Amino acid sequence: MNVMLTIKIENNGEGLVLRCAGRIVAGEEVASLKAAVLCHQDSKIVVVDLANVQMLDGAGMGLLAFLAGWTRVVGTRLKLMNPSRHVQELLELTNLDSVLEICFAEAARDEISHSAAVSGEGRHLAALVHG
């Protein structure tokens, strides 16, 4: 059974939450996630929720590494949120956890709330990350 990647995009203009479910693997799945992030390059914060990602292959890890560099170049903050135990282990084995910002729901919500308070916008995104 081939489980495709689904991405639910929540955007309020201040930041973006991509809730991923399924597999981030070579092919259409990696291309879909890449396009979803690149299409929202004006976001100050991009949060990729990995709670429901069951599999991450080399292409998926390569995409995360690419996104880490790309977001630094364009001035966006990238956060990976709620990686499953399996995904977290892969990130640690490959040392990607040292170049990617990894957090859990409470920390991401607090970060977005703080960023929004500074800019005056963002209560909506904090609610999106929390719920």
Burial class (CB in 10 A: 0-12, 13-18, 19+), 108: buried
Model pLDDT, residue 3: 75
For 15-59, the DSSP string reads EEEEEEEEEE-TTHHHHHHHHHHHTTTT-SEEEEEEEEEEEE-HH
Q: What pLDDT sits at residue 120?
A: 46
- We report the CATH number of the domain holding residue 64 as 3.30.750.24
Number of domains in the chain: 1
pLDDT digits (tens, 9 = 90+) for 69-117: 999 999 999 999 999 999 999 999 999 999 999 998 765 555 555 555 5
23 bridge partner residues: 55
Q: Which of 6-20, 56-70, 88-102 has the lowest mean pLDDT?
A: 6-20
CA 127 to centroid of chain Cα atoms: 16
Query: Residue 27: inside a domain, yes or no?
Result: yes
Residue 30, in any domain of the structure: yes
Residue 1 resides in a domain: no
Predicted TM-score (pTM) of the model is: 0.79
C-alpha dihedral, 111 to 112 to 118 to 122, nearest 10° = -160
Q: Tell me if 39 is assigned to some domain.
A: yes
* CB atoms closer than 10 angstroms to residue 98: 9
Does 118 reside within a domain?
A: yes
Domain that holds residue 123: 6-130
